Structures are given as C-alpha cells and as structure tokens.
Structure 1
Amino acid sequence: MDIYGFNLEHGQQTGGFIWIYNTDEASAVNKVIAGWNVEPESYNDSQTHFSTWFIEGSNVCPDMRCPGFESVFSSEIVPGMVISPVSTTSGKKQYITVRVSKDQNSGDWQIYYGFNGDAKLAGYYPRSLFTSLSDKPVTILFGGYALRKDQKPSPPMGSGNAPFKNAASFRSIKFFDAGGNAHPIDFRLGFISNCYTISVIENDGFFYGGPGNIC
C-alpha cells in the first residue's frame, strides 16, 4: 500500500490498513489490524507510522503501548515507528508491504512488514490473546480510512486525491490459504465507500481516497 503524510490536528486520523476480525456473540469481538496511519492524538506528532492493533472484546491494544505484540529480534521495525520517506503525488511512490497470517502450528497471528520491498516477519500476537479469532472463520477487510472527532474537518484519505490520477493504491493483493499458498485477488469484491472514492479491483489492485473537508 502506498504511504503518505499529512499535517493533521488532534482529533483527526487517516491511513490504510488490513483488518482481520471475527464476531462471535458467545465470546467477544476479536480483531487484528496492520498498516499505516497518521494520528496526532496517539503519537503526539503528525508523522506517518507503521501501526498494528489487536482487539479482544473491550481490550484495545495499539502498537507497543500495552502487552500483546511480540517483536522478533531480526525485525528492523516495531509497531509505532515512523515510516520515512513517504510518497508525494508529484514524485516517487513509497510503499509498504503488509501481510497478516495465522501460524498453523502455534495459532499465533503473525505480522509481516516491508518498506519498498518484500515483507519480513516483524512479530506476532500470541494465540492466548484471543478467543473467537483463534479458531473461528474470519472476515478480511482492506483499504483506507479517515476519522474525525467533534467539529474537526474530515482529513484526506490515501494521497488526498480521488481515483484515478495520483490516487493512493493497494497493489499485488493476495489471499493466503491454510497451506500458505498465495492466490491473487483479481476479481471484484464488495466494498464500503463513505464520502471518499474507491475503484474496483483490477490487476490485483485498486485505487482509493480523496481530499478532506468533504463530509
């Protein structure tokens, strides 16, 4: 996914993520989330960060700010670190490769990350953190998001441009089955578009985003 930077205020957020979640009414909502975001309220800056979250019921744990994520020694990045440089609409696109997968032996949820290259294992969320996500079917979402609080203006999403010219993109999207085999996603999926714009999936990718102050 392309990464971008914006000068946001407290109460504004923007970024791009993969969400994997399961809602089991007998237990609790479980989610694993990984991608990039700009969120001054959490980081006390307006830089672009690599971010990953887990949610188990009411327990919400972002990055390394609470126990949960286990880093591996070989990783060059930990959740919450700044990503630099970022893309510009008039220059080179910088991108991150993110993979979220469950280890079939341990049941841990692994987070892979790469900057302008292949993704390498950054760490994992132990199976013991989850209830329904450990052995239930999951739903997968991916794309951009933008949030605002109170009377703050809506922030840009993606590059700040709507598809297609100079818009942000997800590319080389793949689904990995239980055996670890990759399957390119080259067909149309259902999508949610609220205020911002998203294209259909073609050639294993799509464009998304738009300017701020639109809703």
Structure 2
Amino acid sequence: MGTEKTKEACFCFFCFHSNYTTRQQQQHSLNFKQQKQKPKHKQQILVSSSCFKFPHLTSVFVFILLLVSSVFPATTANKFRQEHHVFRPPEEINKMKLIEAHLNKINKPFVKSIQSPDGDTIDCVLAHHQPAFDHPKLKGQKPLDPPERPNRHVEGVNSSENYQLWSLSGESCPEGTVPIRRTTEQDILRANSIRKFGRKIRPVQRDTSSYGHEHAVGYVSGNKYYGAKASINVWAPKVANRYEFSLSQMWLLSGSFGNDLNTIEAGWQVSPELYGDYRPRFFTYWTTDAYQTTGCYNLLCSGFIQTNNRIAIGAAISPTSVYNGGQFDISLMIWKDPKHGNWWLQFGSRTLVGYWPASLFTHLRDHASMVQFGGEVVNSRPSGSHTFTQMGSGHFSGLGFGKASYIRNMQVVDWGNNLIPLSNFKILADHPNCYDIRGGTNRVWGNYIYYGGPGKNPRCP
C-alpha cells in the first residue's frame, strides 16, 4: 500500500512537472500563444491522464530527465538560440557596409528604370551624372559631340541594330540620359573582393597561358594604328564554372606587356561571375597599367563616357548564332578622333556608344602599336585538368561557316583616318589542341578568321 502511494506520488510529481515544463516552454515561444489561452486545468488533465500510461521504471527515467532540464532551462534555451540564429561577425558587417557604399557610388540616380526580360534593371541616368565624371581628370566635363568617322566607312541603315534583350519591350531611355545596367549586391558578392570587382585577372603576353588566360587571335603590329573595325560572330559558349569566362573581342594595345600596357577592348563575353548568368553580353574594357589597378569592364568605374541612350553596355545580346543554323554578328569600330584625340566606339553601322578620353592613357594617348582580333577564355583547371569552357562556338576553326565562330571584315584605321585592309596579318593560338585559329581573305569578307574550340578533349587533357 505504501509502495502504491509512493508510486502515485512520483506519478503526480511527474504530471505536475510535465505541466510546469509545458507552460515554461509556452512563455519562450510565440508559436504557442494560442495554446496559452486554453484552460490550464484542461491541459493538466490531458497530461495527467497520459502520465499513468508509463510503466514505473520509464516514468522514473523520464522524471530524472525532466528534473535536469528544469535545473538548466536557461542553458538549453541559450544553446537553442545560438544554433538557430545567425550572428554576423564585425568583419562581415564592415564588408556589407563597404558593398553598400560602393553600390551608392556606381549606381547613379535615375529618371527612369526599365526591367529586362533576363532580370536586369536598366537605369536611365542623366548623361552628365554617369560614373565617368567621377574620374579626377574628367570632373566637371560633359559629353562631347560626335566626331568625324573614318574615311571609306560605309554607313548602313540604323533601323534595327539594337540587338539587346532589355530593348525588346519597346521601352527606351529619354534623350539626355544613358542606359546603365544596375549593379546589385549579389554582383559584388560573386567577386573575390570589392577591389577586384569589375576587373580582369591580369593576363600576360599571348605566347603563354599564365594566370589561366588562353587565346586564339589574329593580329597586326609594327605600325601606328588609330583604330580598328570588325564584325564579330555572336555565340553562347558553355562556361565550366563561375570563375571562368569566354569572350570574343578586338584589342587596341600600346606599350609593353609589362606593367605599362595600355588597352582598349570591345566585344561580347559570357561571364557568370560578373553578370550572374550565361548569356553573351556586349562589353568594353580599358586599362593603362596591364590590368593592375586602372580600368574596368563597362561602366563599373569612372572612365568611359557614354553618349548613346539606346545601347546598354553589359546588357545581353539577342539573338545568338545556332550551330548549323542562323548566324548573327555585331559590327564594332573603335577609332581615334583626329580633332580631340579621344577613342570612340561604334556599335552597328552608325550607332555611336561613347568614347574613352585620351587623358586616361599614357601610350594610347597617341596611337596603338598592335591590334588583335579573336577569343579568350580563363582556364582555372578544375579537378586538375583543362577546363571544358568553350571558345567561340565551342568547335574548331576547320568546320567553317555555320559551325565555327568567325570575325570578318577586319580593318584598321591609319594616320589619315582611313579604314584600310590588314597587312602582315598573323595568327596565334596558345594551345591549338584546345582552341585553334585559321585566317583567310576574300572579296566579300575581306580579312577574316575562324577560331575557337571545346577546351578539354582527348588532344587537350
């Protein structure tokens, strides 16, 4: 009889403790507010009735566990909060503040914003408020009027040359503004650091693949060049990972391939790190110190001055070429304005995009000493072997039109502001078993090249 009373007392204590613990948990959880409104006696009855269903030894064991939890409730709660709440360290908080400050610097106030089908936001910014004029050498300036185009430049109809996704909606930026792709927090977080955001990893001279850059290019050198023009076949090559890119472009270079290299570049690129997707995008680049501290892609730093309200640098190009199907290319021309000495960029046959002021440069302040056309990829050697990242169409040059990527009608601008054919044209592929190139000339295409490749394959381990 005494044993039964002791057993009943233990059970009653267990029931009381269960009810107490339940109420204590209710006070620490917003999710149980409704339960707290229920009559306490009803809850006690429920707990008590279930209490006697436990065998004696099990009840004692559970009682001990509950007793321990009642002694250390704060510790358990604190541990729960630590496991389910993210506490940002000071370093991360400072990083986010720096990112916010950088975004405020490059995302200028806009008079209109346009949503692109690919997810981009295009801001229409007053031309004199664009990032270029943050540069110490350009402060207080305004965009210049269009220059004289090179002689022998054939102009076409300018009716349907804006091949960018954001413009397909029919929306456009007002006169007096320039369209700028809005940079997001995610864009910067994909980069290794804020300092490196919008910059190329430093490539080196064309006969080496150091730093993971590989090329297949045609080039001219040995004279003074004041511009270049070409039509570049547009594809959407596969890029193996976010740390690599694939591009097709033309370069104007001056200086050595040491720390004093000056470049002006334009073309299309697929760069998941920079843009967050795998679409080919129209891009520009410049540097005056071999990609170390000066210059950037597009308008991600001060320098390039945009004058056009229909072309957004960094926006996706559409359509793209199809293997053994329709082919699409964009015509680009860069030339030095004889009057002011600035380097102007033209998209299509008549659309002036803007210019790089001569004051940005050292060697290119006068002329270029080399012009290159072709492709470039970054090979990060994933898993210790060559990357699968494609160049051009992803197929070798020997397949020809419709299958291999091409650049046609390649010309340069001479000292008299004349467009002329290439002379002493040479080709070079860093790793021809991975990406190759071949050149030719005919009456329709003038100087042209086919180039590209799949990257890793049995001959490119």
Give, in whole Å, the separation in 1 of the partners of 2:378 and 2:258. 30
Q: Deviations over 1:15-74 (max 9, x none)?
A: 21111111169982211011111011111111100011010113131101111111113x
Q: Does the 8 A contact of 2:285 with 2:296 survive in 1?
A: yes
Q: Does the 8 A contact of 2:238 with 2:389 survive in 1?
A: no
Q: Which amino acid aligns with 1:78?
A: A
Q: Does the 8 A contact of 1:49 with 1:80 survive in 2?
A: yes
- Aligned-residue offset at 1:129: 0.8
Kindly indicate which of the two structures has a greater share of residues assigned to helix.
2
Give, in whole Å, the separation in 1 of the partners of 2:325 and 2:280. 17
Count of residue pairs the alignment pairs up: 210
Residue 131 of structure 1 corresponds to which residue in structure 2? 362
Q: Does the 8 A contact of 2:243 with 2:272 survive in 1?
A: yes
Kindly indicate which of the two structures has a greater share of residues assigned to strand.
1
Residue 274 of structure 2 corresponds to which residue in structure 1? 42
Query: 1:190 pairs with 426, 448, 452, which one?
Result: 426
Give, in whole Å, the separation in 2 of the partners of 1:180 and 1:92. 34
Q: 1:1-215 to 2 correspondence within 5 Å?
A: 1-8=232-239, 9-23=241-255, 28-57=260-289, 58=292, 59-73=294-308, 75-114=309-348, 118-151=349-382, 153-165=387-399, 166-185=403-422, 189-195=425-431, 196-203=435-442, 204-214=447-457, 215=460
Task: Tell me: CA distance 1:188–1:41, structure 2 relative to 1, closer, same or farther (3 Å).
Answer: same
Q: Does the 8 A contact of 1:148 with 1:155 survive in 2?
A: yes
TM-score when normalising by structure 2: 0.43
Q: Which amino acid aligns with 1:33?
A: E
Q: Does the 8 A contact of 2:299 with 2:313 survive in 1?
A: yes
Higher relative contact order (CA 8 A, sep 6+): 1
Q: Which amino acid aligns with 1:97?
A: S
Q: Does the 8 A contact of 2:248 with 2:269 survive in 1?
A: yes
Task: Tell me: CA distance 1:25–1:198, structure 2 relative to 1, closer, same or farther (3 Å).
Answer: closer
Question: Percent of counterpart pairs with the same letter?
Answer: 29
- Aligned-residue offset at 1:78: 2.6
Give, in whole Å, the separation in 1 of the partners of 2:347 and 2:286. 16
Give, in whole Å, the separation in 2 of the partners of 1:94 and 1:25. 33
Per mean C-alpha deviation after superposition, the further-off stretch among 33-42 and 189-198 is 189-198
Q: Does the 8 A contact of 1:145 with 1:157 survive in 2?
A: yes
Task: Tell me: CA distance 1:27–1:205, structure 2 relative to 1, closer, same or farther (3 Å).
Answer: closer
Q: Does the 8 A contact of 1:27 with 1:131 survive in 2?
A: no
Give, in whole Å, the separation in 2 of the partners of 1:70 and 1:100. 14
Q: Does the 8 A contact of 1:161 with 1:209 survive in 2?
A: yes
> Greater Rg, structure 1 or structure 2?
2
TM-score when normalising by structure 1: 0.89
Q: Which amino acid aligns with 1:208?
A: Y
Gaps of 5+ in 2: 1-231
Q: Does the 8 A contact of 1:11 with 1:150 survive in 2?
A: no
Gaps of 5+ in 1: none
